[in-house]
Amino acid sequence: MITHSKKKQYALYKGDTYLYGGTIEELSKWLGVNERTIRFYTTPTYLKRFKNNENRYLVIKVDDEY
């Protein structure tokens, strides 16, 4: 049985501009916020709250499988 310990990768955007890519931990260090904040940026609640804001952060899980 093969297991992968690969951490999930995410892309960080501000509006439509790509800023950074990496794990939750890497994004939080780069942005200078808590990991919980980065996780919150991925939730439907956050997206609804800032639906039409061009300056909002957006964190998207990168799917590496084709």
Q: How far apart are the first and last CA of the chain?
A: 21
- β-pairing verdict for 17-22 and 9-14: antiparallel
Listing DSSP states for 8-31 in one string gives: PEEEEEETTEEEEEE-HHHHHHHH
Mind listing the pLDDT tens digit of every residue in the chain (66 residues)? 444 557 899 999 998 899 999 999 999 999 999 999 999 999 999 988 877 777 889 999 998 654
- At position 12, the amino acid (one-letter code) is L
